[in-house]
């Protein structure tokens, strides 16, 4: 596969490097819109104010996705993960997955109900608690992909095709995550869920999401249980074959 490499770097919104200027200048925050003086913005001109930088993980994900027009869910997820409010492991990943999928879907399709969809997905993802992977046999990142499919197709417990697709989506992600094996890693499991979900949305719903990018993990030093060379996103092993 001819893959673009994704590393987490500067900008929360797009991942581009930050550019610092000696003189402060006035810019509007890309998330809340407030005009403030700053010394730094990313290479694409995004500035994010200190208050937005310290939002709770779920607020940060929702507001960033509301402001983003990224068509690549993997790239957006990697940019978001760089924020320290998104922990190495934690249930915020259960919302991160549907949020970036919905954002990319809406960016490609021109769907204007993104804000409403992000809010619905957040409510549902909040029901998926930490530790579901080991205790319930159902990784929350995979459930997040099922939430995305349900929201995007408008599935309900009584739907037929939408119900089928939403359950198949979770199943496909769980298969990828289960086959990679434990112990849990919210980065690895999120990457696997997003890669699987992106392809699923393209195959079954013609989402038109770009398929080139593969994440390279930069979090292994923060993960005591990292599989290192046993993980396909570990820097030394990524992109081999």
Q: Which residues bind Zn ion (CB under 5 A)?
A: 11, 13-14, 16, 29, 31-32, 42, 44, 46, 49, 52
Helices 186-205 + 161-180 axis angle, to 10: 140
* Shorter beta-carbon distance to Zn ion: residue 68 or 150: 68
Q: How many CA atoms lie within 13 A of 236 on its CB side?
A: 5
Q: Which residue, 11 or 172, has its beta carbon nearer to Zn ion?
A: 11
Quick one: angle between helices 186-205 and 92-109, nearest 10? 30
Alpha-carbon distance values, 231 to 23, 25, 56, 180, 196 (Å): 44, 43, 29, 8, 16
Instruction: Say how far apart CA 240 and CA 65 lie, in whole Å.
Output: 31
* CB closer to Zn ion, 79 vs 201: 79
Write down the least CB distance from residue 161 to Zn ion, Å.
Answer: 38
Complex with Zn ion: residue 31 or 101, whichever CB lies closer: 31
How far apart are CB 151 and Zn ion at their closest, in Å? 26
CA distance 29 to 26: 10
Cα distance between residue 196 and residue 64, in whole Å: 23
Task: Kindly report whether the peptide bond that precedes residue 24 is cis, defined as omega within 30 degrees of 0.
Answer: no
Q: Which is nearer to Zn ion, 11 or 174 (CB)?
A: 11
| Shortest reach from residue 64's CB to Zn ion, in Å | 10
């Amino acid at each position: 596969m001819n893959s673009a490499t994704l590393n987490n770097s500067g900008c929360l919104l797009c991942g581009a490097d930050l550019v610092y200027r000696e003189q402060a200048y006035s810019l509007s925050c890309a998330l809340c819109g407030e005009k403030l003086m700053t010394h730094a913005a990313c290479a694409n001109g995004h500035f994010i104010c200190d208050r937005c930088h310290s939002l709770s993980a779920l607020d940060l994900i929702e507001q960033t996705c509301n402001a983003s027009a990224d068509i690549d869910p993997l790239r957006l997820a990697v940019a978001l993960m760089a924020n320290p409010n998104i922990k190495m492991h934690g249930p915020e990943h259960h919302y991160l997955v549907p949020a970036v999928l919905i954002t990319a879907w809406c960016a490609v399709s021109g769907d204007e109900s993104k804000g409403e969809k992000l809010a619905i997905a957040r409510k549902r993802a909040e029901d998926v608690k930490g530790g579901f992977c080991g205790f319930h046999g159902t990784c929350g990142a995979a459930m997040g992909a099922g939430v995305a499919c349900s929201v995007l197709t408008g599935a309900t417990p009584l739907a037929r095709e939408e119900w089928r697709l939403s359950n198949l989506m979770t199943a496909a992600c769980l298969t990828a995550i289960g086959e990679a094996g434990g112990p849990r890693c919210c980065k690895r499991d999120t990457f696997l869920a997003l890669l699987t979900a992106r392809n699923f949305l393209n195959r079954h719903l013609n989402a038109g999401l770009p398929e080139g990018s593969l994440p390279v993990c930069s979090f292994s030093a923060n993960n005591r249980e990292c599989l290192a060379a046993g993980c396909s996103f570990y820097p030394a092993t990524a992109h081999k074959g």
